[in-house]
Amino acid sequence: MRAGLAPLALGVALAAAPSPAAARPLLTTYSLAAPDGGTVVRAIVAGPGCPTLTVDGRATPMAVRADPATLPPRPTASAPELSKPATFPVKVCDATVPAGARRARLGGRVVPLMAAAPRRIVVIGDTGCRLKARRSRRADLVGGGHDQPSAARL
């Protein structure tokens, strides 16, 4: 009877052990156009390692693009006590999917791939402008104050 319980206990222990995917929870994914017509798939994960992307039924390992990090404050025109370090607590992983791939999945999610002939392009940009502590609230409300001469007349 004891010999029969050993495989059962081993099976329960393996089932209870965290899977590699559980060790790195997938927070989100996104896709970018690759220069060759393919798709760059990125994953934001919390934890060690990168997930495996499945492309047309085949496992494709993802590589680390950026590890978690804390960067010191950059010099700014604001007072030093108003600046803080940039904290990036998550890991970014990526993999390139070749043009012509039909399906991609990551962590149970379907990942959108680039169309062979895109009909619509969306571009989202950020100027990267940082607000300065000495700017007026009125300049913020009317969209001025980015070191523009017109902001001084408000």
10 Å Cβ neighbour count for 111? Answer: 22
Which has more pLDDT, 136 or 80? 80
Predicted pLDDT of residue 136: 54
| Average pLDDT value for residue range 21-49 | 87
pLDDT tens-digit series, residues 41-51: 999 999 889 99
Q: Where are the beta strands (DSSP E) in 20-106?
A: 26-33, 39-45, 52-55, 58-61, 63-66, 69-71, 86-88, 91-97, 104-106
Q: At residue 141, what are phi and psi to the nearest 5 degrees?
A: -70, -35
Q: Which of 42-46, 76-80, 144-148 has the lowest mean pLDDT?
A: 144-148
CA distance 117 to 100: 11
**Residues with Cβ < 8 Å from 62, sequence gap 6 or more?**
41, 43, 50, 51, 52, 53, 93, 94, 95
Q: What is the pTM of this model?
A: 0.63
